[in-house]
């Protein structure tokens, strides 16, 4: 579940805890699962873009998405890799490894710079989600 977009680590880690996995095992599996799609995404988005650009409506849509993302991504551009780390580390909706990979691609960040920041962000987000999940389970008496 942690490799899937939208749910990512925020869904996979509590699910693993709910199934009875030990906290550190759940954390490790969720982090690894969340990192699985990052490199294929970063490498594959260029191919997907090239294919989509062959069809005029898709090319226009991509132009709109890229322009909007660049405007919204000024903080990431301003802070560079640290901004990408912050985007991924905050476990809120529309943040995470998938969003980070897409943002890095749109902003033209190299694989060498993007992957370590996304990985660090996932590790931080995992710690936050683990703590929140354990607290939540404790509050409702599940752990």
Domain that holds residue 12: 8-139
What's the predicted TM-score (pTM) here?
0.87
Q: Domain for residue 1, yes or no?
A: no
Residue predicted with more confidence, 115 or 94: 115
CB neighbour list of residue 87: distance below 8 Å, 6 or more residues apart:
76, 95, 99, 100, 103, 121
CB neighbour list of residue 58: distance below 8 Å, 6 or more residues apart:
52
Q: If we measure between CA atoms, which residue out of 114, 128, 129, 131 comes closest to residue 35?
A: 114
* Backbone φ and ψ of 73, nearest 5°: -95, 20
Check residue 6 and give left, alpha or beta (phi > 0: left; psi -120 to 50: alpha). Answer: left
Residue predicted with more confidence, 56 or 68: 56
Number of domains the chain is built from: 1
pLDDT score of 104: 92
Q: Domain for residue 39, yes or no?
A: yes
């Amino acid at each position: 579940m942690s490799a899937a977009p939208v749910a990512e680590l925020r869904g996979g880690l509590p699910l693993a805890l709910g199934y009875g996995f030990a906290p550190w095992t759940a954390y490790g599996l969720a982090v690894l699962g969340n990192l699985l799609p990052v490199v294929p995404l970063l490498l594959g988005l260029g191919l997907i873009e090239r294919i989509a650009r062959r069809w005029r409506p898709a090319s226009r849509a991509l132009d709109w998405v890229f322009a909007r993302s660049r405007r919204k991504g000024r903080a990431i551009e301003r802070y560079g890799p640290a901004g990408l780390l912050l985007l991924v580390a905050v476990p809120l909706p529309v943040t995470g490894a998938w969003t980070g990979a897409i943002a890095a691609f749109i902003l033209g960040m190299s694989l060498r710079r993007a992957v370590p920041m996304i990985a660090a962000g996932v590790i931080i987000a995992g710690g936050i989600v683990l703590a929140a999940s354990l607290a939540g389970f404790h509050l409702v008496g599940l752990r």
